[in-house]
Amino acid sequence: MLDLEAGDGIRFSGLDAGAPGGFASGEPLSDAPLAPSFPDTMIGIVGAGISGLSLGVFLEARGVEHEILEASDRTGGVIWSSLHDGRVLDHGPQRTRVTPPVAEMIRILGLGDRMVQVPPDIPLFVYRRGKLRQVPFRPGDLLRTDLLTARGKLRLLLEPFTGPYLRGETVGAFLTRKFGREAYEGVMGPLFGGLYGSDPGEMYVRHSLAETMGSFGVSKSIMGGFLLGRFNRTATPPATSFVDGMQEFTDAMEARVRSRLHLRTGSVGLRPEESAPAGESTGAPGAGWIVTTEGGQERRYDQVVLTIPAEPAADLLEAVAPEAAARLRHLRYNRLAMVHMVGDDCGLHGLGYQVGYGEGLRTRGVTWNASALGRPGVYTAFLGGARDPAMLERTDEEIGEVARTEFEAITGCRTRVVAVTRTRVPSWDRTWEALEGLELPAGLHLCTNYESRVGIPGRLARARGMAATLAASAGAAAGASS
């Protein structure tokens, strides 16, 4: 919901983490597709969301043969855009941070002149104690903000004297211990939980916040990092969308790999090449994998990368890695509703707002695309998530009405609802313990938003690292056979 993404990603032991150094490693990739450098190696990618598409583009740039199998009739996964009376609506992510892998992808695709950047100093708000209050990102702003009371500000001074996070500590417990309940419920909980649509009280620090702190260069005191300007948004990568919305990004990826893409080609079976009966793999080095499609075709690959949600990935893995499949089935997803509203005379300027805990509202937050992205009159509200799953039991009309009336109560702006979209996102809560120590058979990989960082920057960083790993493996196999 918020645009605070940073960092490469969270890695779980047992899962290959890609090339050393993640997206920062290796030479810049070519703008033009390379002739196949490893014609005897074929990679199978299951799923054509942004993870599968970006992996395909990065493999193309490295000259690695691959195919992408997508069950539906469109690519992009949760990323899709539409037009309403000439206004661009994004029904998934509203924007992305232009981290190095994102910038590289934009360069490869030639989309530089199609970017619509968010002003770097645009204000962000939290609705707290009955009004919108601006979030401070600089030390001076912290002194002046009315988001915290004087007592709440004084409590922040104790943070440098508190200890590091404990292994079993949740984000909610950790932030409350470090900064006090007022700062957690009024600022940090809503902002951090908004990244996942989740409940920080159910998320372990080691699975989520620890990596975020590391990406900002904070190893000890968070308050110390803030005073040093590490959380100043003008120092972080800029946020951007595209002229035709975020789908323009994935459409350009699709165009890049179209000859390798197979739509309406669901994958229903997976078995090792050397063993006809499922589940009897010898694990022999260099053995390939057979993917069976819904149409009954069998496609042979040297390595297979699953980029699909946890449940269908578990279905494919059941016969060849039953323990891994059981772990994936354990992961919890949060259901979210996005409500697009149009109001032509709101006069609001900012990125949007999150709602503080305990305010008695059902809306989690609202993105002001009208001012953030120059999309006249467009405001996108988010409802549901881990803290209010019952909201998703309501009809679209009821959800839209809640969003509209609460938005008017907070801002005074009258709008009309033009679209309601439902989606699911990984919760990254306590159930993510299931991924610790997860191992897959040789030649099978996960490249998803539940095994490494959520958000577009994390997805592209993971895909780039995975492409480097697969290219290195293809090179080693070519050398061994020559």
Q: For the residues of 361-381, what is the DSSP string, one character each?
A: -SEEEEE-HHHHS--TTEEEE
Cβ-proximal residues to 470 (8 Å cutoff; 6+ apart), any chain:
43, 59, 64, 303, 305
Q: State residue 276's pLDDT score.
A: 43
Determine contact, residues 3/31, Cβ cutoff 8 Å. Answer: no
- Give the strand order in the sheet containing 96-97: 96-97, 239-242, 115-117
**Closest among 143, 109, 105, 141 to 125, alpha carbons compared:** 141
CA distance 267 to 293: 4
The answer as to whether 29 is a domain residue is: yes
pLDDT confidence of residue 32? 58
pLDDT given at position 236 = 79
Number of domains making up the chain:
3
End-to-end Cα, the chain, rounded Å: 51
β partners of residue 49:
76
Asked if 416 and 445 sit in the same domain, the reply is: no
Looking at the domain assignment, is residue 323 inside a domain? yes
308 domain-assigned? yes
CA angle 169, 174, 175 (to 5 degrees): 155
| pLDDT at residue 275, as a whole number | 53
Q: How far is CA 111 from the centre of its chain?
A: 21
**Whole-model pTM?**
0.90
Domain membership of residue 218 as a residue range:
138-231
Cβ neighbours of residue 126 closer than 8 Å, sequence gap 6 or more = 132, 133, 135, 147, 186, 187, 190, 191, 353, 354, 355, 356
User: Which residues of the chain, if any, have pLDDT below 50?
Assistant: 1-26, 276-285
Question: What's residue 254's pLDDT?
Answer: 98
- 292 and 276 in a single domain? The answer is yes
Given this model, what pLDDT does residue 78 score?
Answer: 96
193/55 Cα distance (integer angstroms): 28
Q: Final residue of a domain: which of 406, 426, 446?
A: 426
Whether 472 contacts 34, CB under 8 Å? no
| 256 plus 323 within the same structural domain | yes
Residues 326 and 437 in one domain: yes
459: nearest Cα among 272, 230, 319, 305: 305
pLDDT at residue number 217? 59
Backbone angles phi, psi at 122, to 5 degrees: -65, 135
Structure tokens of 234? 């003008």
At 6 the pLDDT is 39
Domain assignment present for 475: yes
Q: pLDDT value at position 12?
A: 43
Strand-strand pairing, 333-342 and 378-384:
antiparallel
| Domain closes at, from 201, 231, 261 | 231
CA–CA gap between residue 385 and residue 392 (Å, rounded): 8
What pLDDT does 86 receive?
Answer: 94
* Same domain assignment for residues 187 and 272: no
